Amino acid sequence: MSQHDGDRLDLRPLLPLSGDGVHWTLERDGDLNVNLVHLDPGHEVGDHVNDEVDVLVVGLDGTGVTVVGDHHHDLGPGVTLHVPKGARRLIRAGGLGFSYLTVHRRRTGPTIGSGPA
């Protein structure tokens, strides 16, 4: 039997959201990172590259588009998109705003080690 039997959270009472940013984060030790993000209508997370981890984007409320490289992906409630590490991407909310989860392996923090010899 595991030492931790899991956590359950109903995100539906948190929706709909307003105000850009992260509105909830899975707060526990382990190797999984989950964030509930909201973008107001027409707002975006600008073009960037994540070289560290693959990311799963899970649409929850509203609509949005994720551009990965040159490909446009329409997202909405129940629609998921895998974004591989190293891919250039941006996420833009549609006319009603967009709430979504990002799910990925927890990034490792900076470590202290010896420098070059």
Total domains in the chain come to 1
Whether 37 maps to a domain, the answer reads yes
Does the pTM surpass 0.85? The reply is no
* pLDDT for the residue numbered 60: 97
Q: Say what percent of the chain tops pLDDT 70.
A: 86
For 54-66, the pLDDT digits (tens) are: 999 999 999 999 9
Q: Average pLDDT, whole number, for the chain?
A: 87
* pLDDT for the residue numbered 5: 63
Helix residue ranges, H only, the chain: none
Domain region containing 66: 22-105
* pLDDT for the residue numbered 113: 52
Whether 2 maps to a domain, the answer reads no
Give the three-class secondary structure for 14: helix
Whether 91 maps to a domain, the answer reads yes
114 burial via Cβ count (<10 Å: 0-12, 13-18, 19+): exposed
Maximum alpha-carbon separation in the chain: 56
Q: How far apart are CA 111 and CA 47, in angstroms?
A: 28
> Phi, psi at residue 13, to the nearest 5°?
-65, -20
